[in-house]
Amino acid sequence: MVLATNVKEEITNILFEAEKERREIKKFVDDYPELTIDVAYDIQEALIAKKMAAEQTRISGWKLGLTSKAKQQMMGVHEPSYGVLLENMALTPSEPISMKPFIHAKIEPEIAFVLKEDLTGPVVTVADVIAATDYVTAAMEIIDSRYLNFNFTLPDVIADNSSSSRYVLSTERHVIEEIDLELMGCVFKKDDDVLATTTAASVMGNPARAVAWMANKLLARGQKVQAGDVVLSGALTGAETIVAGSTYSVSFDGLTGFTVSFIEEKE
């Protein structure tokens, strides 16, 4: 069975309102088993169009999700997904972040690629991604699934724009050729506690491979990663539930790290 157009619209609206009202919702696949991966990306596109119109913002890039074993095991979903980043999702490291917009946000350490050329294919390789990269930078993503307890299947999370909420990039840019995309060490901390340590290879063996994977998926849908786009290649470690009053930091071998802090804001 094919998911009816009015059901696609209904799911799009429910996801849009859930974010706006900071309300958790039940995942959709239980009621709509015909929600396939392809249909889920159609819903994601409709949701992004709706957000851009309502919030007067534009696409700034893309995000990958579930590209590391740590994340796949944590979420029980064993394939990557992608989503869209919008300009109004970008935050700066120096400003304390208010918890106000979030339902139950988590934070993740990531490696961001910023492109200087489009990724056109027909088949995009790791070498193509490296050649098209303007610079790489340390990043953290704030995810905030609209689903109850982050409980979802792959099509659910895709429809929900892969749980995206906000992202923070370091202000320091690094030349990709100077970085070891496998061995680069990563330390993720909450206040003074080390939450996890790993290397860049935890993202699909090489985070540039994650970018290539997504570029090929986008080409199949008639879209492409473009010059100027930011691409978050996916969390290297498990995500950490954000606690107001805490700070989180990421540091990488050879990439300048940074810290973000969160504040509770009373209504």
Q: Helix H segments across 76-192?
A: 126-132, 154-159
How many whole angstroms separate alpha carbon 67 and alpha carbon 8?
Answer: 27
Q: Helix H segments across the chain?
A: 5-21, 37-55, 69-75, 126-132, 154-159, 207-220
107 is a contact residue toward ligand OOG (CB under 6 A): no
Residue closest to 165 by CA, chosen among 180, 147, 177, 185? 147
Q: What is the largest CA-CA distance in the chain?
A: 52
Residue 35 or 239: the one with the smaller Cβ distance to ligand OOG is: 239
Among 8, 51, 71, 166, binds ligand OOG (CB under 6 A): 71
Closest approach of Cβ 1 to ligand OOG, in Å?
27
130 is a contact residue toward ligand OOG (CB under 6 A): no
150 is a contact residue toward ligand OOG (CB under 6 A): yes
Interface characters, 213-242, with ligand OOG (x: CB under 6 A): ---------------------xx---x---
157 is a contact residue toward ligand OOG (CB under 6 A): yes
Q: Which residues pair with 194 in a beta bridge?
A: 189
Which residues are CB-contacts of 220 (< 8 A; sequence separation ≥ 6)?
none
Closest approach of Cβ 13 to ligand OOG, in Å?
21
Which residues of the shown chain bind Mg ion in the complex (CB under 5 A)?
108, 141, 235
Q: What does the binding site for ligand OOG look like in residue numbers (CB under 6 A)? A: 63, 65-67, 71, 75, 108, 141, 143, 145, 150, 157, 162-163, 234-235, 239
